[in-house]
Amino acid sequence: MNLYKYVSNAVNEKLGTKVNLEVPKNRDFGDFSTNAAMVMAKSAGKNPRELASEIAPKLAELDFVAETSVAGPGFINIKLKDDFIWESASQSQSPKSATTQTIVLDYGGYNVGKELHIGHLRTTVVGDTFNRIAKTLGHKTISYNHIGDWGRPMGLIIAWILEYGMPETANELNKYYPASTARAKEDENWLNHAKEITSQLQSDNPEYRKIYNNFMKISLAQMDTLLKRMNILPFDVTMGERGVAEHVPTVHKILESKNLLTLDDGAQIINVKREEDNAPMPPLMWRTSADTQTYAAADLTAIYYRTQQNTPNTIGYFTDNRQTLHFNQVFRAANLANLTDATLFHTGFGAITGPGGKPFKTRDGGVASLSDILDIATDAVRERVSESGKTLDEDTISAIALAAVKFNDLMHDVRSDYIFDPSAVTSFEGRTGPYILYTAVRLNSVLKRATFDADATYMPMTTDERNLLIGVLDFERTVISAFENRATDMIANYAYDLCQLINTFYHNCPILREDVPANIRAGRLHIAKTAYDTLAKTIDLMGLTIPNEM
Ligand code: ARG
C-alpha cells in the first residue's frame, strides 16, 4: 500500500478539498499532520486553531484513524489505528503504475576497444536501477547499450593492429587506442591514415571489417564480464553506432525531404537553433566533410530505429552531463524531422572525482578503470573484515564491495558531482552499502532461527514497531516518486531510512530473548519479516545481493 496516498486521498475526500499532508519529525502525537486549517482559515473567516478544532473530530471519523489532536497555531495531528497499520503492512508491498508504458532506455554506451572507466559507473548503475524500478512498476522496458563502435577510434585501433598485430587479450587491446591516439597527435600522416581506414571501414572494406570483427569479440566479452561482476541486468539490445548505420540512409531521405540538411564547408548539418534561445545552440553535425557518420547521426538514427522497432512512449538516456547539449540537439532534430512520438528525456550526471575534486587515480597514478574501482573497494572491505577478526568468503567480500560502490553512487543526486572515497564507502556504519546489507543479514539471521506465523496479530504496538511498519508502507510511494522524478537516489535513501527504523526496532524490541512472551515474539517476528521483505525488494532495485552472513 502507498500509505501516504491512501491517507491523503481519504483526508481530501473528507474535507472536500486538497490538503497538505506531512510526516511530522516528532511522531509522538501523530503519524501524519496537516496544516489544512491554517490554509483554509482565511477564506472561512475563522481563526486557524478554532477551525482546526472543528476539522480534527471530522478526521477522527475516518475508519483508519485512532485519534486526532490540534497543536501549535492550528496543525492537526492524525494518529493511525494499529490494526490498520498491521493489516496494510502485512500485504505484499508491490507498487504498480496506473498506466503502463513502453520505455526505451539508453545507458552504458561503452566504447569498443577501451576499458570501462570510472566515468561509466553512473550510467551503468543509475541506468540499471532505473530499469529495475520501471519494470517493478509494470512498465515494459527495452534497454539499449549504444556502444561506440564505428567512429575514428576504430580506425586508430585498426591502424595499430595493421602495424603490431592482433591483440590476444582485452588488456592488450585496451593499450592500442591510447597508443595510436598519442601517435596521431604527433604524426599527421598517422592521423590521416586512421581517418582513411575509418572511412573505408564504414564503406565495408573486407580486410578492415575482418580485423574489426575480431577485436570486437574481445571487447564485448570484456564488457560482459564486467557487467556480470557488477550484477547489471543483461542489456536487451547491444546495438550502437555501427548497428544503426544501415538505417542512416533512410533517415537521410527523411531529413532531405523536410529540407533540414544544410551544407557547411563540405559537412552536412541540421540547424536546431530557435529564436527564443538565449544560450548558444550550434547546429547538429549530420555528416562530416570526409563523408563519415557522426556521433549525432547515430543517435538521431537510433531514435528512428527504436521508434520503428519498439513504438516506445518514452526514450530515456543516462549519460554524463557534458552530453546535455548533444542530446538537446538530437532531440530537437528528431522533433523537426518528426522521427518519433515518444517523449524524450536525458538525465545528465555530475562527475565522480578523487579527494580534492581531482580526477580519481589508482595507486600508481593511472586513470581508474571500472574494474580498478571494484578491486580497490574489495581490498578495502577485505581489510576491514580481517581487522574485525571475522572471516568471510571471497564471494561475500565481493558482494559487500559492490554494494559499497553502487549504493554510494545511487545515494547522491544524479546531477551533482561527488568524491569517491574507498574507505568511507566501505564503512559498515552510516549511509553506506555495507550498512544496508549488514542490517538485512542480521534481521534475516533472526528470521532463520525462528518459525514465522503469518497469522500473528499483536496489539498495541510500541512506537518503534509502528514506526517501522509505517516505514514499510512508504515503499510504494518511494518507488513511484523515484520513477516519476527519475531520482534513483530516493531508493537508496529510503533503504537507509528503513534500515535506521529496523535497527531501532532491533535494539528496543527483543524477539528471541527467553523472557519475551510468545505472543509478543510472534508479533515481532511478523514485523521483522515484513520489514525484511521490503528491505530485500529495495536492495534488489539497487542491483545488490544480500550475503548469507556478514
Ligand atoms: N560512447 C559514448 C561515450 O563513451 C557514450 C554513449 C552515450 N549514449 C548515447 N546514446 N550517445 O562517450
Same domain, 460 and 374: yes
Same domain, 66 and 160: no
Same domain, 74 and 160: no
Same domain, 431 and 519: yes
Strand-pair category, 284-287 with 65-71: unpaired
The finding on whether 148 has its CB within 6 A of some atom of ligand 1 is yes
Confidence check: pLDDT of 288 > 80? yes
Confidence check: pLDDT of 205 > 80? yes
pLDDT score for 44: 85
In angstroms, rounded to a whole number, what is the distance separating the alpha carbons of residues 121 and 414? 12
pLDDT band at 374 (very low <50, low <70, confident <90, very high): very high
Q: How far is the CA of 106 from the centre of ligand 1 (A)?
A: 9
pLDDT score for 175: 94
> How does 505-531 read in b/e, with b if 16+ C-beta sit within 10 Å?
bbeebebeeeeeeeebbbbbbbbbbbb
What pTM was computed for the model? Answer: 0.95
Q: For residue 240, which atom of ligand 1 is closest to its CA?
A: 10
For residue 279, the 8-state DSSP code is: S
The finding on whether 114 has its CB within 6 A of some atom of ligand 1 is no
Q: For residue 302, which atom of ligand 1 is closest to its CA?
A: 10
Would you say 177 and 152 are in contact if contact means Cβ atoms under 8 Å apart?
no
Question: Looking at residues 115-120, what average pLDDT do you find?
Answer: 92
- Inside any domain, residue 404: yes
Same domain, 499 and 380: yes
Q: For residue 295, which atom of ligand 1 is closest to its CA?
A: 11
Q: For residue 299, which atom of ligand 1 is closest to its CA?
A: 10
Question: Looking at residues 330-346, what average pLDDT do you find?
Answer: 98
- Inside any domain, residue 105: no
The finding on whether 146 has its CB within 6 A of some atom of ligand 1 is yes
Question: Looking at residues 534-548, what average pLDDT do you find?
Answer: 98
Provide the mean pLDDT of the chain.
95
| Structural domain for 466, as ranges | 370-541
Residue 345: HSE in the Cβ half-sphere, 13 Å Cα cutoff: 15
Q: How far is the CA of 363 from the centre of ligand 1 (A)?
A: 28
The finding on whether 106 has its CB within 6 A of some atom of ligand 1 is yes
Whether the ω angle into residue 178 lies within 30 degrees of 0, i.e. cis, is no
- Phi/psi for 481 (5° steps) reads -65, -40
Grid cell of 239 as nine digits: 546495438
Q: How far is the CA of 350 from the centre of ligand 1 (A)?
A: 15
The finding on whether 111 has its CB within 6 A of some atom of ligand 1 is yes
Question: Looking at residues 54-67, what average pLDDT do you find?
Answer: 96
Q: For residue 326, which atom of ligand 1 is closest to its CA?
A: 11
Confidence check: pLDDT of 500 > 80? yes
Question: Looking at residues 191-198, what average pLDDT do you find?
Answer: 95
- Phi/psi for 89 (5° steps) reads -75, -20
pLDDT score for 456: 78
pLDDT score for 355: 83
Which of 80, 97, 131 is the C-terminal boundary of a domain? 80
pLDDT band at 365 (very low <50, low <70, confident <90, very high): confident
Same domain, 59 and 167: no
For residue 138, the 8-state DSSP code is: T
Confidence check: pLDDT of 166 > 80? yes
- Inside any domain, residue 486: yes
pLDDT band at 43 (very low <50, low <70, confident <90, very high): confident
**Cα–Cα separations (whole angstroms), residue 505 to 63, 468, 534:** 27, 7, 15
Q: For residue 123, which atom of ligand 1 is closest to its CA?
A: 7
Task: Match 587515480 to its residue by C-alpha cell.
Answer: 361
pLDDT score for 41: 87
Which of 92-101, 200-209, 358-367 has the least mean pLDDT?
Answer: 358-367
- Inside any domain, residue 318: no
Q: How far is the CA of 112 from the centre of ligand 1 (A)?
A: 11
Which of 80, 101, 116 is the C-terminal boundary of a domain? 80
Same domain, 72 and 160: no
Instruction: For ligand 1, pick from 177, 319, 330 the residue to mutate: most ligand atoms within 8 Å of CB.
Output: 319
- Inside any domain, residue 362: no
Same domain, 381 and 522: yes
Same domain, 74 and 198: no
CATH number at residue 53: 3.30.1360.70
Confidence check: pLDDT of 185 > 90? yes
Q: How far is the CA of 361 from the centre of ligand 1 (A)?
A: 22
Same domain, 417 and 536: yes
Q: 368 exposed, middle or buried (CB, 10 Å; 0-12, 13-18, 19+)?
A: buried
- Inside any domain, residue 521: yes
The finding on whether 326 has its CB within 6 A of some atom of ligand 1 is no
Residue with CA at minimum distance from ligand 1 atom 7: 109
The finding on whether 109 has its CB within 6 A of some atom of ligand 1 is yes
Count of C-beta atoms within a 10 Å radius of residue 74: 24
The finding on whether 153 has its CB within 6 A of some atom of ligand 1 is no
In angstroms, rounded to a whole number, what is the distance separating the alpha carbons of residues 266 and 283? 14
Instruction: For ligand 1, pick from 104, 105, 111, 115 the residue to mutate: most ligand atoms within 8 Å of CB.
Output: 111
Q: What order of strands is seen across the sheet that includes strand 237-238?
A: 237-238, 140-145, 102-106, 314-320, 343-349
Grid cell of 66 as nine digits: 485512532
Q: How far is the CA of 304 from the centre of ligand 1 (A)?
A: 17
Grid cell of 538 as nine digits: 529495495
Which of 202, 229, 256 is the C-terminal boundary of a domain? 229
- Inside any domain, residue 502: yes
In angstroms, rounded to a whole number, what is the distance separating the alpha carbons of residues 537 and 106? 24
Q: What order of strands is seen across the sheet that includes strand 32-34?
A: 21-22, 32-34, 75-80, 65-71
Same domain, 384 and 514: yes
pLDDT score for 362: 82
**Cα–Cα separations (whole angstroms), residue 157 to 161, 215, 224, 296, 515:** 6, 9, 20, 22, 71
Q: How far is the CA of 356 from the centre of ligand 1 (A)?
A: 27
pLDDT score for 548: 95
Confidence check: pLDDT of 137 > 80? yes
Q: For residue 144, which atom of ligand 1 is closest to its CA?
A: 10
CATH number at residue 447: 1.10.730.10
Q: How far is the CA of 161 from the centre of ligand 1 (A)?
A: 24
Q: How far is the CA of 401 from the centre of ligand 1 (A)?
A: 27
- Inside any domain, residue 483: yes
Number of domains in the chain: 3
The finding on whether 128 has its CB within 6 A of some atom of ligand 1 is no
Question: Looking at residues 496-516, what average pLDDT do you find?
Answer: 96
**Cα–Cα separations (whole angstroms), residue 21 to 15, 74, 470:** 13, 14, 15
The 3 state secondary structure assigned to 455-486 is: CCCCCCCCHHHHHHHHHHCCHHHHHHHHHHCC
Q: What is the largest CA-CA distance in the chain?
A: 87
Q: How far is the CA of 107 from the centre of ligand 1 (A)?
A: 8
pLDDT score for 200: 95
The finding on whether 319 has its CB within 6 A of some atom of ligand 1 is yes
Q: What is the pLDDT of residues 399-420, one digit of tens each?
A: 999 999 999 999 999 999 999 9
Question: Looking at residues 85-91, what average pLDDT do you find?
Answer: 94
Q: How far is the CA of 320 from the centre of ligand 1 (A)?
A: 9
- Which helix (H) or strand (E) segment holds residue 250: the answer is helix 248-257
Q: What is the pLDDT of residues 442-475, one digit of tens each?
A: 999 999 998 877 777 777 899 999 999 999 999 9
pLDDT band at 392 (very low <50, low <70, confident <90, very high): very high
